[in-house]
């Protein structure tokens, strides 16, 4: 499904609706370049899970954890380019748990994403504050 948003708030609102329908164990894989809105979307997920605010992409920590109705693990794979790097992030330890994994720069770990991954691609629209958000692998409404 495809959505157009016209502000960061609209992107967050979409993400909050997704958060309300999460059961735990989902992997949410973002694609889209720098400044696309991946962190903005993740912020909406965290708010929707009652896990508070997401400060920024966890570029240096690689993963930040947010506790809410479900635990959200927020990964930034920008600097991950080997399997060894990926193992060291703990990504595989979190798979098949009841945590929700939100993965920025999932392009870099494409081959490691499990079956059932929810793919979210965010592209700039034709105004400064417009984004085209394509969601694949989501079952149900948003
Ligand atoms: N419709 C929109 N949805 C999301 N972010 C938007 C939108 N319009 C403008 N923005 C701005 O784009 C930027 C997105 O930044 P961020 O979420 O950190 O991107 P990324 O994590 O993909 O690099 C923010 O400054 C945000 O305010
Ligand atoms: Mg980011």
CA-CA distance, 123 to 79, in Å (whole number)?
Answer: 21
From the CA of 13, which ligand is nearest?
Answer: 1
Report the chain's mean pLDDT, rounded to a whole number. Answer: 95
What residues pair up with 71 in beta bridges, in sequence order? 67
Find the domain containing 108 and state its range. Answer: 2-132
Report pLDDT for 54. 79
Bridge partners (DSSP) of residue 76 are 104
CB 120 within 8 A of CB 31: yes
Whether 6 is in a domain gets the answer: yes
The ligand 1 atom at the shortest distance from the C-alpha of residue 40 is 17
Predicted TM-score of the model (pTM) = 0.96
- Overall domain count for the chain: 1
CATH of the domain at 83: 3.40.50.300
Residue closest by Cα to atom 27 of ligand 1: 8
Residue 137 in any domain: the answer is no
Q: What is the pLDDT of residues 41-79, one digit of tens each?
A: 999 999 999 998 776 777 767 899 999 999 999 999 999
């Amino acid at each position: 499904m495809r959505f157009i948003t016209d502000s960061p708030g609209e992107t967050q609102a979409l993400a909050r609706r997704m958060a309300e329908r999460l059961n735990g164990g989902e992997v949410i894989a973002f694609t889209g370049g720098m400044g696309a809105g991946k962190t903005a979307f993740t912020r909406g997920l965290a708010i929707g899970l009652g896990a508070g605010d997401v400060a920024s992409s966890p570029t240096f920590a690689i993963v930040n954890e947010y506790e809410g109705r479900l635990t959200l693990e927020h990964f930034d794979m920008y600097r991950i380019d080997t399997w060894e790097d990926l193992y060291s992030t703990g990504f595989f330890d979190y798979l098949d748990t009841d945590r929700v994994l939100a993965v920025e720069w999932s392009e870099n770990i494409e081959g490691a994403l499990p079956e059932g991954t929810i793919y979210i691609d965010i592209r700039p629209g034709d105004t400064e504050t417009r984004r085209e958000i394509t969601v694949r692998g989501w079952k149900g409404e948003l």
